[in-house]
A and B are shown apart, each in its own frame.
Chain A
């Protein structure tokens, strides 16, 4: 499985990948249908706008409170987890995180790791690192399992296989799962996955999971899920390794209920997920199951860069619900794979530059009409459009010493900068503006019939023969 690694290639080829989806009516229809479904499910969960807005404000306040205390809370979390018997590891980069995880696997001569859904493990491309080390890494969330079987990456952070139809999955199972005949009955397909994976939960040496919230005051890792595979991965194998970004932390247990409510209602339109799994320690003496060892890997991978700037820090408020992508007209048109990053959609556009550098991601920030739908639904009120404009500024400004982010100025072009300079020179001067627009109105008929990208699907723009100011003057 997964013969060749699929590396991140966000900016390069972004337009070509977008075009491929946009030109495919079947995919267009399928994404539209899926997003409509998720949007209506969310809307049904928030019938009372006052409740929604006050809960969003509370969610925002909780996330900002905890981010403001982040270093202290990380130390407190570590102390409490350690006291509870959980081993805490720190990683600045994906390579360091992989080395820690594979080191634990190798110490236990592990052959098979079963994985609960973890976007951070996708972020560090753990599956490839594990396979290179001769350790099987098997995804157990149904969507992730499907995507892994197909040798693809998730196209949505909550619904990884949202780009696939049941017929495609039926063919995939018939081709790749031993002893399975073609069926496109969804219940039967889920049963196939269940049967394969149950055997793996039984055999696995290591269970890997993500973390939705880490509670500092109690030293608790919280996981949100519907399938039960997260519970399997964190309970059945003898070792559990959890991995999380350093920002997913709350000081107090009472911070969890509002965030959980916002998360499940925004993500899939459920008032709560089937399981909310809170893990505070490995198996204690006398207990009959649960892992003997629990590890937590805390990953930075660019998060501390976002943290350093007051505005960019808001990126870290995210609780990974995916509502921004469900409501994004761009995501709806191109799906998740076109982005080429682990995190697609609006949140992907604002978090990926910190992970991959603006060199690799500068064109992503331009792929937004700034319509504001993402910011409107974000359960913790991240001002996503504002952050996109900031990233455009960081990408296109002239490279300078002491930048706030890696790759600042990567999209700098002298030509583009001089175009905007000239634009400003005209529009800040009423006299110049007057001359230029007067020429435009008199000679508008000379406007070319091909106006670059604009006329690929639109008629050319032609200034009116008289400007408003001319009409007003004539009227007197």
Chain B
């Protein structure tokens, strides 16, 4: 049962912070997220000067470098509109870590705090602000949802993705083993500790495949890059030519399911 809650006022405009991963590697997911928002009657603004939230440097132990990059993003959202981010990880960085990152800089700290309350992860925005109830136009299928650790533990939005997929009447949401466990991406962790990261993604892909779902859906492209990258590598190793575990961003999945 969903709790009844008061929705914040429905905005006419939002900023879209695409994230560097989507801009460079999954632009289709970004387009689909924007289209999905526009179909809800929202004007979506894409500040062209956006680059990266700064998280890679921040989590790698280089806060000075992260600060320089983050400081630039702070200047991009002058209007009091929500900032929608199609990634729990980058949203978590902007919402929770920016204020800490600028703790010693009163001016930027104040900016970061003002920004923080406006930052939404995409599925959170769709459910908690727009009260979006996707109407399913697709045929029967089974998918499995992977929620990033940042979305789950930092943003606390692990239920919104489930809810959106749950609303699709012809979609069966499979339940994977160890659902809440990390996929092993963790930014530079995957490079610095490839053996452990590799073992984690191997187990994650096995668990996702074991559900029999025809695809994996996630609201974080970092995880997708890791999960799909391993699944494809495994396919190549074992001589498969069709992907054994296709996957996509939840925005793309939702857009397709709701398009006639």
Contact = CB atoms under 8 A, between A and B. Distances in A.
Is any CB of A less than 8 Å from a CB of B in the complex?
yes
Nearest to A460: B229
Contacts of B52: 427, 433
B25 A463 contact: yes
A433 B180 CA distance: 34
Contacts of B58: 389
Given A376-B153, A430-B49, A459-B229, A370 B190 contact: no
Interface string A38-54: 00000000000000000
Interface in A324-375: 329-330, 333-334, 363, 365-373, 375
Interface size class of B (residues with CB under 8 A): 35 or more
A452 interface: yes
Interface stretch (A14-22, A70-78, A160-168, A290-298): A14-22
Contact of A468 (B23, B61, B66): B23
A453 interface: yes
Interface in B37-83: 46, 48-52, 54, 56-66, 68-69, 71-72
Contact of B186 (A369, A395, A440): A369
Contacts of B50: 430
Given A393-B62, A420-B60, A333 B26 contact: no
A469 interface: yes
A437 B27 CA distance: 12
B62 A468 contact: no
B200 interface: yes
Nearest to A394: B61
Nearest to A472: B46
Interface stretch (B3-11, B138-146, B191-199, B209-217): B191-199
B182 A366 contact: no
Interface string B150-169: 10111000000000000000
Contacts, number: 189
A369 B185 contact: yes
B232 interface: yes
Contacts of A333: 196, 199-200, 203
Contacts of A371: 149, 153, 181-182, 186
B3 to A, nearest CB: 14
B132 interface: no
A273 B22 CA distance: 50
Interface in A376-393: 376, 389, 391-393
B189 A370 contact: yes
A369 B61 contact: no
Nearest to B66: A424
A400 interface: no
A141 B194 CA distance: 36
A371 B51 CA distance: 24
B250 to A, nearest CB: 16
B219 to A, nearest CB: 16
Contacts of B187: 369-370
Contacts of B176: none
A393 B71 CA distance: 19
Given A369-B184, A373-B181, A471-B31, A420 B62 contact: yes
Contacts of B200: 329-330, 333, 369
A22 B54 CA distance: 31
Nearest to A376: B153
A18 B195 contact: yes
A441 B154 contact: no
Contacts of A397: 61
A396 B65 CA distance: 13
Contacts of B122: none
B57 A424 contact: yes
B191 A459 contact: no
A370 B181 contact: no
Interface of A: 15, 18-19, 22-23, 28, 329-330, 333-334, 363, 365-373, 375-376, 389, 391-397, 417, 420-421, 423-424, 426-430, 433, 437, 440-441, 452-459, 461-464, 466-472, 475
Given A430-B72, A454-B190, 7 more contacts: A19-B195, A370-B149, A389-B58, A423-B56, A454-B229, A461-B229, A471-B30
9 contacts: A18-B193, A367-B189, A369-B185, A372-B153, A376-B153, A395-B61, A423-B65, A457-B230, A464-B24
Interface of B: 18, 20, 22-28, 30-31, 34, 46, 48-52, 54, 56-66, 68-69, 71-72, 149-150, 152-154, 180-182, 184-203, 225-226, 229-230, 232-233, 236
